Chain A
Amino acid sequence: MNVRLLLFLLIWPTSIWAQGFAGLGTDAEGFSVPERGYVFDFPADHGAHPDYRIEWWYLTANMQDAEGRDYGLQWTLFRSALIPDEIDGQIFMGHAAVTTPDDHYVTERLARGSLGHAGVTAEPFEAWIDEWQMVGDMEVLSLKAGSDEFSYELELRNEGPLIFHGDAGYSVKSAEGQASHYYSLPYLALSGTLALPEGEVEVTGEAWLDREWSSQPLSDTQTGWDWFSLSFESGDKMMGFALRQTDGSVYTYATWIALEGETQAYPDGALSATPLETSQTSGAEVPTKWRVELPDRGVDVEVQAINPNAWMTTSVPYWEGPVTISGSHKGRGYLEMTGYE
């Protein structure tokens, strides 16, 4: 879901293949490639797919404390394979963040699969890097991460169905057909404690887990990505992204998730996202107020960052933070923007 990360994770192995196996290498050499009609198999598919080059367990959450103050949270584990299927060739990268209206705490961890301090198992489900972990049975999960500045320990309870994006989980990312396998758990109820420099905070809220894996999901002409996960007060939800292309055009996609969990996929062109305001963050200048429209569902909303400076000062920097929604629909959600620096 994060373009720079995708590029980054893809560049690594590519260069190795280019060096080690000069002449052989296309991007997906030796790796499996997502295919339309793939039949998901749970719980196995909650685990790692080391035959694919890249994969992530990406959780974001909107939360409030007792006084109604907004908080955002991120817990992500990326997997990148240098060599398909071999544990020696797996590298993990963890990103964790907590965003308040005034502050944004970020931290990062790196690990290789072969040493064992990071990994993912499907049954019982556990994704971990160092002391950070997401563990449980996909109905109840416990989540933990931290740094020298902050930490959190939360419980997640799944209260809805699992959602497939694109064509039954086959999510196309460009006109040339690059794609990934992509599903979400968007109905996670959350409660727990944030330990921040100013003290401990009890929070409750809603979390959204994205699962995606691929081997070559981006086109050369794509420079960055704006991704929205929006939860409306009506109970409906929407996931949408706009991939920015070098010629100034965008490739868009949206999944509408009705209250009952029924989904509808919208192909390129249905969704539009227009920047209204930009902010100078501690990294790049990024749009922090958007107009998002999905006319087919009567959606015409303004999406506003709760803390415009939610810049991720990680090895690959990007913007990721909680947003509020106003206009035709009201609610909260998460925004990710990459490729701006």
Chain B
Amino acid sequence: MIRTTLAALMSYWRRNLLQLITLLAGIALATALWSGVQAVNAEARASYDAAAATLGEGRFDHLRAADGGSIDQETFVALRRAGWLVSPIVEGRINGVRVIGLDALTAPIGIAPVSLTEQADLGAFLSGGGQIFGRPDALAALEGTVEAELIADPNIAPQTLTTDLVFAQELLGREGEIDRLLIATVQPKQQATLAEIAPNLTRISAQSGSDIGRLTDSFHLNLTAFGFLSFAVGFFIVHSAIGLAFEQRRPMIRTIRALGVPLNILLALMMVELILFALIAGVAGVILGYFIASALLPDVAATLQGLYGANVSGTLAFRASWWATGLLIALGGTTIASVSAFLKLAKMPLLAGGQIRAHVMVAGRRAAVLAILAAACAVLAVILAATADGLVSGFALLASVLIGAALALPLILDQMLRASQSLSSGAKAQWFWADTRQQLPGLSLALMALLLAMAANVGVSTMVSSFRLTFVDFLDQRLASELYLTVEEDRAKEITGYLEPRVDAILPIVSAEAQIKGVETEVFGARVHSTQRDNWTFLDAMADPWDQVAGGAGILLNEQLARRTDTWPGAIVALGGQSFEVVGVYGDYGNPIGQAIVSEEVFAELYPEEIANNFGLRISVDQVDDLLSDLETQFGISSENVINQAEIKAFSLQVFERTFTVTAALNVLTLAVAGFAILMSLLTLAAMRVPQLAPVWAVGITRRSLGQLELLRALILAFFTILIAVPLGIVLAWVLLAVVNVAAFGWKLPLFLFPADYLQLAILSLLAAALAAFWPALKLTRLRPAELLKVFANER
């Protein structure tokens, strides 16, 4: 019996091969979406890691010669032999490009361009001939001057080349010399003290490289949230696909049961069938996700190697887990999506199965339930928006906004259609609107998918673009000077004296630890200059804040400090026994602690013992290279102590370009899925609609015109959905930037709007809807008149 029943069930798919393919494709697409988003997320992470590695150059504590000179190799060996895991770095400039030599065998993970897992490369890297890694433009500077193999690598900072230590020493003519020693984060238990081994070295703590890290953490959190969102969209499509399959097999199930197959056996067999499909489609989906990601994303190969374990040693387990997650998503999604279909089937009276359910009959009751749920979500969202103060409540807000909007969608659309109906005149138009409303319950799931997809896309675009603007602004503000220079305190006077006539301005950067309103704060003394006036933007400020700071009575606070102490412009704070008026609050993205700025003179009074050894230099861009080489020859200041802000900015912009590519990939993918959901729903409805369309056809409306109306209907519904999706997406982005981010990191990212992007997305969504509706409409146009006539003859 089991075999026969299974054969019967399968025979349905043989007769409806297209439907089988669409069901499999539905599950596969949902899985692909999930895998693709994971890849996209990982790609973004990898990009930022590269940025962090370059931007946060002082990620590791390191040792430097106290006199600023070089370290000899014997000291390095002595340290290693005393249990210090340190790794040598030598650097210098060739043709204006920064050359970094490192030892791949001892370098902390992620520093060297090759590692032990890439055996052949490591060998070539170490062998005498040399390999030099860098971006193509940096490599071009060496073209023809060295014998070494030049290898393009986008993960290396701009205008920087990385090569083996010994080879770099040869290139730079500095055999046996080391500039600094990176200290690995994990050290052996037994170790001699630094003073015993190398008293002439000083330990420099890692810079607060967490700045970039925390900023990008916030970005990843947001991307992860969208990863879940995309899963929700995928879930809708699986639901639609299964709904279709069950709906259309009702007559067949009735027949099988009437022939005596027990319900539980039938259900079990259908479940087995579904699990089989989910597995097949899941595998296809994971593979599809792989190809989508690798086709759409540039430079993703390395990331995928990590994810899929292709020829990276030791990642086999990870690879298995990757496949497992993909399949679990497919299986889990399918199971959850099919629960309601199975329940309906289980409750179905034996002989009632033949009737195709008229959705509209239960629509009234369903609408009431939806309205109550949506209202509950809305109330919850409003409460949470006002009170949310943690990550959990932030995500709860996100969830209630999304679920509420999705549930409310059919009701809102119904109201919009009702309004359109009352505005229209003529029998055909009246019928069109009424018929559209009648179809709404059947299409609502697909439209919810479109709503979520579109909202997710608007949200992602808004978030990424806002993030970019903020980040670039922030860099402009913080790296306004062309060059940043670090010198030893006792040479500061001499060097600034030398620089004075050669640069437009010298802006000392000096700071001290303090407490403001009980919060640990880093107080900076600023030489007020047009640099700050031109570049700094404030979240909240009084008029001419910098003049007030220069006047000595004003103080500027960063957002974190202002939020934590609830101190905003106009308030008075005490610092070192003096009172200052808060004249501005500025964004300080990524910084975990409080920060305040007073004028240079006030700072010197408060902290006379602090002497500036960091300086921002304003200089015209074309003089940068000359000044760099002069500093090196005159004072032996190596490039490690000079930061060229143009390089950093250019690099971070490139990182964003890559993020945009992945965002575009995500947009295309989610819209494709939503379009697919619409297609599935329309196909489900098509068969049921024949009895409703037949009378309309009979009164003289041609099939062609009916087809056109079908297409128009899909477009109108999509358009209405988009009208709701755009504001929803913006709300989504706002929740992430202004609520979740504040909860997670203590600062708010400003929200910017990008109408042109939204318009483009709207057009894409309409296109997706039109594509989805085209085939069902075409089928209607070609429906044989005999089928329509049958409606009047048959009892069905």
Residues of A within 8 A of B (CB): 8, 11-13, 15-16, 19-20, 82-83, 88-89, 91, 110-112, 114-117, 128, 130-131, 146-151, 195, 315, 317, 341
Contact = CB atoms under 8 A, between A and B. Distances in A.
B127 interface: yes
B491 interface: no
Interface string B121-164: 01110111100000000000000000000000000000000000
Given A15-B124, A317-B314, A148 B82 contact: no
Contacts of B129: 20
Contacts of B105: 91, 110-112
A89 B129 CA distance: 11
Contacts of A114: 166
B331 to A, nearest CB: 25
Interface in B74-88: 74, 76-77, 80-83, 85, 88
Nearest to B128: A88
Interface size class of B (residues with CB under 8 A): 20 to 34
A12 B76 contact: no
Contacts of B191: 131
A12 B120 CA distance: 5
B128 A111 contact: no
Given A150-B189, A151-B188, A15 B106 contact: no
A88 B189 CA distance: 30
Nearest to A11: B119
B186 to A, nearest CB: 5
Nearest to A150: B189
Nearest to A80: B123
5 contacts: A11-B119, A11-B120, A15-B119, A15-B120, A82-B127
B190 interface: yes
Interface of B: 73-74, 76-77, 80-83, 85, 88, 103, 105-106, 116-117, 119-120, 122-124, 126-129, 165-166, 186-191, 314, 316
A315 B117 CA distance: 7
B190 A91 contact: no
Contacts of B314: 317
B308 to A, nearest CB: 18
Contacts of A115: 73, 76-77, 88, 103, 165
Given A20-B129, A82-B126, A130-B85, A147 B73 contact: no
A16 B127 contact: yes
Given A130-B81, A148-B189, A151-B190, A19 B117 contact: no
Given A115-B73, A128-B81, 20 more contacts: A12-B123, A13-B123, A16-B120, A19-B120, A20-B127, A88-B166, A110-B116, A111-B105, A112-B103, A115-B103, A116-B73, A130-B80, A130-B83, A131-B81, A131-B188, A146-B190, A147-B189, A148-B186, A149-B189, A195-B190
Binding site of A, secondary structure by majority: helix, strand, loop or mixed?
Answer: mixed
Contacts of A130: 80-81, 83, 85
Contacts of B186: 148
Nearest to A313: B314
Contacts of B188: 131, 146-148, 151
A111 B76 CA distance: 12
Contacts of A83: 127-128
A110 B120 contact: no
Contacts of B117: 315
Contacts of B165: 115
A146 B188 CA distance: 6
Contacts of A12: 119-120, 122-123
Given A115-B76, A130-B81, A149-B189, A15 B116 contact: no
A117 B126 CA distance: 16
Contact of B187 (A91, A117, A148): A148
B189 A131 contact: no
A112 B123 CA distance: 11
Given A112-B103, A130-B83, A16 B77 contact: no
A154 B187 CA distance: 21
B80 A91 contact: no
A234 B208 CA distance: 63
A294 B123 CA distance: 42
B475 to A, nearest CB: 37
B77 A112 contact: no
Given A19-B124, A317-B314, A117 B189 contact: no
